[in-house]
Amino acid sequence: MRKELPIPLSLIQTFWLACLLKAVGALVGVLSGVLAAKSVYFDRWILAWVDSLLMVVILSGWWYWRVRNPAAMGNLGWEHRLLRGLLAIAILLPAFDVIASTWIQYYDTHNLFLREYGWTFEQVSEIYALGGLFVFLPVVLAVWQYEWHGLLGGLCWAGVTYLLLPLFLPPNTFTIWLYWVRGFVQLGVLLIIALTTLSLTRTQRQEAQSLASANAQLAQFALTAEQLATTQERNRMAQELHDTLAHSLAAISIQLQAVGTLLPIDPPQAQNELRVAQKQVQDSFQDSRRAIRALRASLLEELGLVGALQTVLQQVSERCGAVGKCDISPQLPALPATVEQAIYRIAQSALANVERHAQAGVVRLAVQWDEPQLLVEIEDDGVGFLLEQVAVHTQFGLQLMEERALAIGAHLTVRSAPNQGTTIRLRYLPPP
């Protein structure tokens, strides 16, 4: 079953306005007849004025109800039945107007028009024939609302009405061949107008559907981007917690276990280990404060990528007593903010691992522009490790660095061996 489209309020308003204009035109005809014939009984516009006024009243009530009930949105079944009925009646009414007018003895009225206004019989008849043009509007409105169904239904109903009309008129009212020619021309013009309306209506609805689909896709993209940003932020915070609290708490736990083991057999040594644990707690507190400041990425915002990397390298080398070497190309390409953020975080995590695990004497940070790619390398001469035997917390840190690299389309490699140090290399190829 074909789903009915909602009836827009603008259609009701257009229908109402057309009927109002017809009522006003018919009233002008009635008044002109009164002025010329001094009587309304012989005027051909009476029925046209009454039926158009009745349509205005019905449509006014419908319009008022729609304004008071905006939630209805034209989807109710009785509204569609009412619209189809009113459109069918509107197509039929011009035929009733013709029937009523032709049965009225109006020849004396024509003579009065000729005497009062100088209008001939043909001119008066042409003015009366204008009422037949009102059959165009309901067909156009039917096409507007129901597309092909409205076009076929409206044209068929108008054609049947025109064909049956001569059966209800007085004999010798018109020349039959002229009637058929005029009907053919009117239906042809009506068909052209209806097809044009159909084309415009379908184009407008397709554009509206495309726009609604695009808006839905944009909303979905925005939601996806928001979820992705949230996930990335969670991963970044997880990395920061891993770089600070996880390592520190693990070291403190091991130190306290040592204290518990030494306390029964060597209390002085246990006290020394306890002082070491206290020092680790203080260091963890400082690390946590540094992590909170780092979450704001203040160094990157204030100093830029090069300055931030140099500062982090200097801070790490001072804390762990290693010699820090920095090798950064003087001419680096402009990078998107997300890429700079990822490079900074990866280098920061790698240097944090050097500080906590490497026991290195020298740590080197290199950032080189080897067109068309950017190379970032963090290298130390520390104790190293076997990748297949890496600890769980270290493995988690490396996984987060890899995720950050993948997020910007970069490639991350890790090389390490016992007593041979560790090298972390990032290759980033900017898009063309």
Q: Cβ atoms within 10 A of the Cβ of 376, count?
A: 24
Closest CA to 73 of 11, 147, 2: 11
Average pLDDT value for residue range 23-52: 73
Burial class (CB in 10 A: 0-12, 13-18, 19+), 152: middle
Other beta carbons less than 10 A from residue 107's beta carbon? 10
| C-alpha to C-alpha distance for 217 and 224, rounded to whole angstroms | 10
Find the mean pLDDT for residues 181-192: 82
Q: How far apart (Å, rounded) are the C-alpha atoms in residues 432 and 357?
A: 39
In this prediction, residue 384 carries a pLDDT of 87
Element (H, E) at 407: helix 392-407
**Cβ–Cβ < 8 Å for 315, 347:** no
pLDDT of amino acid 392: 45
The CA angle 406-346-291, to the nearest 5 degrees, is: 130
- Average pLDDT score over residue span 377-403: 77
What is the strand order of the sheet 373-380 is part of? 323-328, 362-370, 373-380, 422-428, 411-416
Residue 248 is encoded by which pair of tokens? 């520190």
pLDDT tier, 210 (very low <50, low <70, confident <90, very high otherwise): confident
What pLDDT is attached to residue 189? Answer: 83
Q: What percentage of the chain reaches a pLDDT higher than 90? A: 15
pTM beyond cutoff 0.85: no
SS3 342: helix
- Which pLDDT belongs to residue 110? 54
Instruction: Provide the H-helix boundaries in 296-336.
Output: 298-320
Query: How many other β-carbons are positioned within 10 Å of the β-carbon of residue 97?
Result: 25
pLDDT reading at 4 higher than 80: no
Least confident of 27-31, 217-221, 296-300: 296-300
Per-residue pLDDT for 126 more than 70? no
Give the whole-number percent of the chain exceeding pLDDT 70. 78
Structure confidence at residue 368 (pLDDT): 92
**Mean of the pLDDT values across residues 85-107?**
78
Most confident of 41-45, 49-53, 293-297: 49-53
pLDDT of residue 398: 80
Return phi, psi of residue 75, to 5°: -100, -5
Whether omega before 170 lies within 30 degrees of 0, making that bond cis, reads: no
Q: Which pLDDT does position 125 carry in this prediction?
A: 56
User: What per-residue confidence (pLDDT) applies to 37?
Assistant: 61
Q: Tell me the pairing of strands 373-380 and 422-428.
A: antiparallel
Separation of alpha carbons 42 and 45, rounded Å:
9
89-103, 168-182, 186-200: segment of lowest average pLDDT = 168-182
- 3-state DSSP helix/strand/coil % of the chain, to nearest 5: 75, 10, 20
Q: Is 128 a residue whose pLDDT tops 60? A: no
Quick one: DSSP state of residue 5? P
Which residue has better confidence, 26 or 250?
Answer: 26
- Give the separation between CA 129 and CA 140, rounded to whole angstroms: 20
Please identify which residue in the block is written with the tokens 């109006």: 106
More confident site: 362 or 212: 362
User: Considering only CA atoms, which of 63, 77, 76, 52 is closest in space to residue 12?
Assistant: 63
Question: Mean of the per-residue pLDDT values for the chain?
Answer: 79
